[in-house]
């Protein structure tokens, strides 16, 4: 079955994410977030010629991170429903010929034929989706047999403080005075500017939406159950571990060839 084109209307998108796009890049300088991107990059095991879907790509941080690391020739398609996030992603990644960004609503059938991608990655998006089981069915449909899924999402106890502490611990361990000084000064300037906006939006919007039952983060039991529900559709080799200073869960799974 091929999903029909997901037409995104203004109503579908969410002004909150458009607003967040103005501050979101501050996370790129947060060391535990960079570690999360590193874990994601490693879990993707990029091979020459593969197609990767980044579901909920935001401002293109993962694509930028990959471009800074050794990688074979691959094609990455980043999709998001926020025009503002996509505008930032396109601007940041304008020189990256292996990346394309498209507007797409993950709450709707996805506009791709079956078995379109070798890898599907989704970083910190699952909790914000309306019906994540429907989205997962769609992601599995467009993932090739043998393809890998990499998903990371915040836990219900998610809090900013452990991230900041982890950041400071990692900065303290940086080797070399000038590198360390650059990071310290960078941290201060980011915290004083876009970092504050980012923290306020997290505390006042994401936390409130979570408390109001609109967003649904997952603990280990929820995530295991969620992935197990999709086992019969052919998902296997599931591995879950903590990430992002213990504030996230990081899951990898494979779509079984016989599905
Ligand atoms: C916390 S950000 C994560 C962005 C990116 N993956 C990263 O780690 O930097 C969540 C992203 O999910 C996107 N998003 C939320 N609901 C969506 C939906 N229904 N369809 C497409 N994108 C969605 C938001 O616009 C936002 O860019």
Q: Whose CA is nearest to atom 1 of ligand 1?
A: 124
Model confidence over 141-168: pLDDT tens digits?
999 999 999 999 999 998 888 988 998 8
User: Is the CB of 82 inside a 6 Å radius of any atom of ligand 1?
Assistant: yes
pLDDT interval class at 84 (50, 70, 90):
very high
Beta strands 117-123 and 99-103, pairing class:
unpaired
pLDDT reported for residue 2: 41
Task: Kindly list the structural domains of the chain, giving each domain's residue range(s) and its CATH number in brackets, ordered by start.
Answer: 15-158+208-255 (3.40.50.150)
| Cα 56 to ligand 1 centroid, rounded to whole Å | 4
- Return the DSSP state at 224: H
User: Is the CB of 150 inside a 6 Å radius of any atom of ligand 1?
Assistant: no
| Cα 205 to ligand 1 centroid, rounded to whole Å | 14
Residue 209, both tokens: 């939406």
**Alpha-carbon 117 to chain mean position:** 16
Q: Which of 182-191, 210-219, 247-256 has the lowest mean pLDDT?
A: 182-191
* Cβ atoms of 65 and 71 closer than 8 Å: no
Q: Which of 86-100, 153-167, 179-193 has the highest mean pLDDT?
A: 86-100
Task: Tell whether the model's pLDDT for residue 190 goes beyond 50.
Answer: yes
User: Helical H runs in 93-203?
Assistant: 132-142, 160-172, 177-190, 196-201
- The mean pLDDT of 49-64, rounded to a whole number, is 98
User: Is the CB of 124 inside a 6 Å radius of any atom of ligand 1?
Assistant: yes
User: Is the CB of 121 inside a 6 Å radius of any atom of ligand 1?
Assistant: no
The reported pTM is 0.92
* Cβ atoms of 125 and 219 closer than 8 Å: no
pLDDT reported for residue 8: 56
Strand order in the sheet with 51-55: 99-103, 75-80, 51-55, 117-123, 143-154, 248-255, 235-243
- The mean pLDDT of 124-148, rounded to a whole number, is 96
**Alpha-carbon 169 to chain mean position:** 24
pLDDT reported for residue 230: 92
Q: Which residue has the higher pLDDT, 30 or 203?
A: 30
- The mean pLDDT of 97-122, rounded to a whole number, is 97
């Amino acid at each position: 079955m091929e999903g029909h084109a997901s037409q995104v209307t203004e109503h579908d998108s969410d002004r909150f994410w458009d607003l967040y796009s103005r501050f979101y890049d501050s996370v790129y300088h947060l060391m535990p977030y960079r570690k999360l991107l590193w874990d994601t990059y490693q879990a993707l095991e990029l091979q020459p010629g593969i197609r990767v879907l980044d579901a909920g790509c935001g401002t293109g941080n993962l694509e930028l991170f990959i471009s800074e690391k050794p990688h074979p020739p691959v094609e990455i398609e980043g999709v998001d429903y926020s025009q503002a996030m996509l505008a930032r992603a396109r601007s940041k990644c304008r020189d990256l010929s292996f990346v394309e960004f498209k507007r797409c609503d993950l709450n709707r059938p996805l506009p791709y034929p079956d078995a379109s991608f070798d890898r599907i990655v989704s970083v910190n998006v699952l909790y914000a989706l309306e019906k994540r089981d429907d989205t997962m069915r769609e992601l599995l449909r467009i993932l090739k047999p043998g393809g890998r899924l990499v998903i990371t999402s915040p836990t219900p106890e998610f809090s900013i403080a452990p991230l900041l502490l982890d950041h400071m611990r990692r900065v303290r361990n940086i080797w070399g005075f000038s590198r360390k000084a650059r990071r310290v000064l960078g941290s201060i300037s980011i915290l004083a500017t876009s970092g504050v906006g980012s923290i306020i939006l997290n505390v006042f919007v994401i936390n409130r939406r979570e408390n109001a039952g609109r967003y649904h983060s997952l603990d280990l039991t929820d995530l295991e159950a969620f992935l197990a529900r999709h086992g019969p559709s052919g998902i296997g080799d599931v591995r879950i571990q903590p990430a992002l200073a213990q504030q996230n869960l990081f899951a990898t799974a494979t779509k079984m060839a016989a599905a």
